[in-house]
Amino acid sequence: MITDTIKRFVGQLFGQRANGGLQRTGKELHGIDRRNVSRHAIKVCEVLHQHGYQAYIVGGAVRDLIVGLEPKDFDVATNATPEQIKPLFRRSRIIGRRFQLVHVVFGPEIIETSTFRAPASQEQETDDHGRILRDNEFGTHEQDAVRRDFTINALYYDPSTEEVLDFHRGVEDLKKRVVRMIGDPRTRYREDPVRMLRAVRFAVKLNGTIDPGSREPIGSMADLIHNVPASRLFDEMLKLLTCGHAMDCLHQLRQDGLHRGLLPLLDVVLEQPGGEEFIELALERTDHRVRAGKTVSPSFLFAALLWHQVNLRCKQLIAKGEQGMQALMAAADSVLDEQTETLAIQKRFSADMREIWFMQPRFERRLPKSIWRMIEQPRFRAAVDFLQLRAAAGEFDSVLAQWWMDLANAEDAERATMIDDLARQPREGTAGAARARPRRRRRGPERTGGESSGSESESGTTASGG
């Protein structure tokens, strides 16, 4: 009698077992509120159901909803093939080569819809290290659960019944905050080395641990990360840095030996005086924005991570006789060239990073004519935010940094007043106040207070700040 009671309790806690290991967990146990699920993801499932297909919300969205986090996006898994899915939705497109799937577009939201996959087989195309190059072998629902990486990601939410389907006790692992690989960890890491990075990210994000059997091979297999395409590494690194626990993730990556090849200059920066403080400030502010539900600019984030090295090389070049702005440009080029050998930072991001960096010396000398030109730059606000970071790290005057922030937050009329007031003050040099400026009233942004000296070049200033 007691044994039967215990069995019933366990069954209620983790769902009734059926279909050779499948567990169905009801709403009262998994705790997902359907109102927190994307209505577009529900719509995709409903349309596929109406046409006779299976369809479930799957993976990270289900994981996050169960632990009370807000998912960044929603994915759907189905037994319909991409060619069967696409005609059912007016705005959809088939994408992917290694992993073909369908993007169903609802305004700004994209519901990534994939077909159930079969586990890796000997017929699948791999590289010399065992990494799968093509993964378009379709399979059953059970097979799809087997080929997913971790038990906590092999969860399927049915919005029609509000049940979670679980083949690998993922709900149980999720309640315990344990990240556990499905299958043999060594084989799965060879198939896709990025799974080692994902294991770290999930464990930190959930404030949990990696199952000992899943963690043990990581140290000896970390070098496999070098075989991953640079573009995919960039995407995974960006997810890691914007998960809301970036600094914890970086410390864990270093502890497990996974940092090499991701940000080659990061170890150098963290070992230099002031380097770790600057990066911690940047990542703390990034984490705060993520947790507050605000967007994070990849350009700003990577500009902050690499700034210390850019600034150091700039100073070294200036010491050798290079002019300030030319030294900064050369330093930026060399750091980005080294970084993009293993981490493919997209050109649009690297261009924004350069703009943010190149504006920093211009903040040191407040020339009215130059200020109006700076305000017109697309990355002006990002550069001012970056300046606040430098001030917090003690490498720029905090009072001057606040003036620039006030200017960035002001309306046009207030900006004109602030710059007019500045023109009446003693003229600033690179080291502080110098001779007085003529008092001349300007009426708007098109009028400048600079005489012949107002067009003086700023290329001689350094990137080191005040």
CATH of the domain at 239: 1.10.110.30
Residue with the bigger pLDDT between 374 and 131: it is: 374
pLDDT at 400: 95
pLDDT at 130: 52
pLDDT at 340: 73
Residue where the block lists tokens 């550069």 = 383
pLDDT at 20: 44
pLDDT-derived band of residue 11, with 50, 70 and 90 as boundaries? Answer: very low
The verdict on residue 309 lying in a domain is yes
Q: Which residue, 218, 233, 262, sits at the end of a domain? A: 262
Among residues 33, 73, 184, 223, the one annotated as catalytic is 73
On whether both 219 and 287 belong to a single domain, the answer is: no
192 classed as catalytic: no
pLDDT at 136: 63
Among residues 75, 192, 385, 420, the one annotated as catalytic is 75
Q: What is the CATH number of the domain that holds 96?
A: 3.30.460.10
The verdict on residue 461 lying in a domain is no
On whether both 232 and 121 belong to a single domain, the answer is: no
On whether both 291 and 432 belong to a single domain, the answer is: yes
- 109-164 pLDDT, tens digit each: 999 999 999 876 555 555 555 555 555 688 999 999 998 999 999 999 999 999 99
* 288, burial (CB in 10 Å: exposed 0-12, middle 13-18, buried 19+): exposed
pLDDT at 217: 93
Among residues 64, 144, 149, 385, the one annotated as catalytic is 149
Contact in structure between 147 and 137 (CB atoms under 8 Å): no
Residue by residue, DSSP assigns 5-67 as HHHHHHHHHH-EEETTTEEEE-HHHH---GGGS-HHHHHHHHHHHHTT--EEEETHHHHHHHH
On whether both 296 and 417 belong to a single domain, the answer is: yes
pLDDT at 122: 53
The verdict on residue 9 lying in a domain is no
- 51-93 pLDDT, tens digit each: 999 999 998 999 999 999 889 899 999 999 999 999 999 999 9
149 classed as catalytic: yes
Q: How many domains does the chain have?
A: 3
Residue with the bigger pLDDT between 12 and 457: it is: 12
421 classed as catalytic: no
The verdict on residue 328 lying in a domain is yes
Residue by residue, DSSP assigns 71-133 as PS--EEEESS-HHHHGGGSSSEEEE-SSS-EEEEEETTEEEEEEEPBPPP-TTS-B-TT--BS
- 252-268 pLDDT, tens digit each: 888 887 776 566 556 66
